[in-house]
Amino acid sequence: MDQLVKSRKKIRFGIIGCSNIAETSVIPAIKESKFAEVEFIGSRNKKKASLIAKKFGCKKFGDYQDVINDKNIDAVYISTPVSLHEKWTIKSAKMKKNILCEKSLSDSFQSVKKMVNIAKKNKILLFEGLMFRFHPSHKKILELNKKMGENFTFYSRYGFPAISKKNIRYNKKLGGGILNDAACYPIYASRMIFGKEPKKIKCVFQRDIETGIDEKTTISLIFDKNQTAQFSCGYKLEYQNMYSIWNERGSIFLERAYNIPSKMRPIITMQRQMKNKKIILQPANHFTLMIDNFCKQLFSPKDMDDNFNDILNQAKILEAARISAKNKLMVKLSDIK
């Protein structure tokens, strides 16, 4: 890890891709963080880069290559379509830039392995932007869950009303589809709740006939001790964004799980012996918390193997889901190499 990065008061970010989530959530989170600042705005369209830079009071703007060529940049936030993540991760890593990349990292496990290997080779941090995991609601649930006995099953729904088929989520070549876009969230959440990796995966896709993308999916993960995770995700559905845990002594339900507005007070419902108890939490901005966590890892670098293994395990499950859906069979995680 660069000694200069560790000595700085703030991590200087370059933005690669002026997506909606970059403009509405991540760039504002970088501006809000005590540990980060926006140094450079990059877009394929320099006019757009200029407008976004002006909006956020950033003096530097240009294209993607301009961002990684800037010697003052400590880290990049990659917010391109999924199909371009590998390209710009590799280019950024070779320029010794630490990387926060939007989920999902790629649409293949082999691609993610390349990204991890280049990060290791250049001794930089590679971080997958699953921002929800930094919200305090999940830490609270893990604390409550310890008192509820052994988990039996995790259940989740994450879905959205219809969106335009001109949206990149409906573009197969750009990595569109519900698996990369949304199912990655309950996959990660189930791993977080169980504290381990699944053994087997079964996935079913409902594809959009016109574009070929996976428009809806139902996924089952089987862990050891016969513990299971089951969830459904999709477009053209009533909005849903929840997960629940059912175990020996009751159940826990989080009604807003993955995309929690910064001013919202999340509600956890515990049910024990048919009696409900609601716990209302304080608001938090999980995007800012993600940026803070990323920066702290750069200021106080530790062994990054756990982070790399976490990235690879998440990618393995996504790959197993693709294979399962294609071949209509249950896939062992150990078969993904």
- Can you tell me the mean pLDDT for 93-119? 98
- Per-position b or e across 259-292, b if 16+ CB within 10 A of its CB: bbebeeebebebbeeeeeeeeebeebbbbbbbbb
Domain ranges in the chain are 3-132+289-302, 136-283+318-335
**Under a CB-based contact definition with an 8 Å cutoff, are residues 76 and 122 in contact?**
no
**β-bridge mates for residue 76, sequence order:** 14, 99
Class of domain 3-132+289-302: alpha beta
- 226-275: pLDDT as tens digits: 899 999 999 999 999 999 999 999 999 999 999 999 999 999 999 988 88
Cβ-Cβ contacts under 8 Å for 19 (sequence gap 6 or more): 79, 80, 102
- 178-224: pLDDT as tens digits: 999 999 999 999 999 999 999 999 999 999 999 999 999 999 999 99
Q: Which CATH superfamily is domain 136-283+318-335 in?
A: Dihydrodipicolinate Reductase; domain 2 (3.30.360.10)
- 23-65: pLDDT as tens digits: 999 999 999 999 999 999 999 999 999 999 999 999 999 999 9
Give the Cα-Cα-Cα angle 109, 315, 185 (nearest 5 degrees).
145
Residue 222's H or E segment, with its range, is strand 214-222
Give me the DSSP letters along 13-41. Answer: EEEE---HHIIIIIHHHHHH-TTEEEEEE
Q: How many whole angstroms separate alpha carbon 15 and alpha carbon 17?
A: 6
Residue type, position 222, single letter = I
Cβ-Cβ contacts under 8 Å for 263 (sequence gap 6 or more): 283
